Amino acid sequence: MARAATSLPWSGYLIGFALGGFFDGILLHQILQWHHLLSLVDGVTDQILFDGLFHALMYAVAAIGLVALFRTRRSLARPGSGRRLLAAALIGAGVWHVADGIVSHWVLGIHRIKLDSANPLAWDLGWFVAFGIIPIVAGRLLYRGGGGNDGGSGPRGGIAALGLTATALICGAWAARAPAGSETMIVLFGPGTSQGAAVNAIRAANGSVLWQSRGLWAVRWNDPARVDTLYPRGALFVSSSLVGAGCLAWTTAE
């Protein structure tokens, strides 16, 4: 039990770190489109490819954090566990933005927060403080909030865990959306679907194959696409929805 309680903050750090990455990717890459991951790297012609790989990395970090949280679930019954979990998540999210600012903006110079700004450094510093330093300080203060008496202050551990899990799933679902205007999607066929049957299904849906691997197919749709015809022909899901492998659809866009 003591070991689980010690490990609990690490699940929060990992989930918070992934949420920080999702926040940047969703807001800055997808919604505002202020930059891509490698906007300032010469020779990169497919920026969306690397945004997609970045999203996939955040999925992996979030999954590790959620598994760690499940494995330490017994410690959620301890007094103050919810406060410590939320504090760790805040710290993790802040660490992401601090690391991104130092490494991506200033050391490697692969992108800046707002590329079209007259003063990119001001945006970098503002973002660094607002979403990096402040969450870390707030997380540390929240973590110490119980003082020597940890008598159940803050939300219950189970409620905090459910809230973090739901937030991670919602952010993951949003990040799984295919790029606006993209003509490419990911299709997953069932294990019993032969390669020939999959190709025929894609052609019947007015699509053409970009690549395929172990039942996972990248498809470019012609106009009009008839995606609904794929399901009766063995498809498990198509990434036009918010579930499935939508993040990989970013890796096929041109």
Q: Give me the pLDDT at residue 192, please.
A: 84
Q: Do 18 and 141 fall into the same domain?
A: yes
Please, what is the Cα angle at 110 between 105 and 112, to 5 degrees? 45
Cα 215 from Cα 181, distance rounded (Å): 25
R_g of the chain, CA atoms, integer Å: 21
The model's pTM: 0.73
Q: Do 157 and 227 fall into the same domain?
A: no
Q: Give me the pLDDT at residue 47, please.
A: 77
Q: Do 44 and 68 fall into the same domain?
A: yes
Of the three residues 141, 175, 209, the one that is the final residue of a domain is 175
Number of domains in the chain: 2
Of the three residues 116, 146, 175, the one that is the final residue of a domain is 175
Q: Do 55 and 122 fall into the same domain?
A: yes
Q: Render pLDDT for 54-100 as a digit per residue (tens, 0 to 9).
A: 888 899 999 999 999 999 888 888 888 999 999 999 999 999 999 99
Low-confidence ranges of the chain (pLDDT < 50): 1-2, 147-153, 240-246, 252-254
Selection from 116, 114, 68 nearest residue 89 by Cα: 68
Q: Do 143 and 202 fall into the same domain?
A: no
Selection from 175, 161, 171 nearest residue 65 by Cα: 161
Q: Which domain holds residue 192?
A: 184-252
Of the three residues 175, 201, 234, the one that is the final residue of a domain is 175
**Residues contacting residue 203 through CB under 8 Å, at least 6 positions apart:** none
Q: Give me the pLDDT at residue 179, please.
A: 60
Mark 29-55 as b/e (b = at least 16 C-beta within 10 Å).
Answer: bbeeebbbbbbbeeeeeebbbbbbebb
Q: Do 139 and 26 fall into the same domain?
A: yes
Residue 78 C-alpha from the chain's centroid:
29
- Terminal-residue alpha carbon distance, the chain: 50
Q: What is the mean pLDDT of the chain?
A: 83
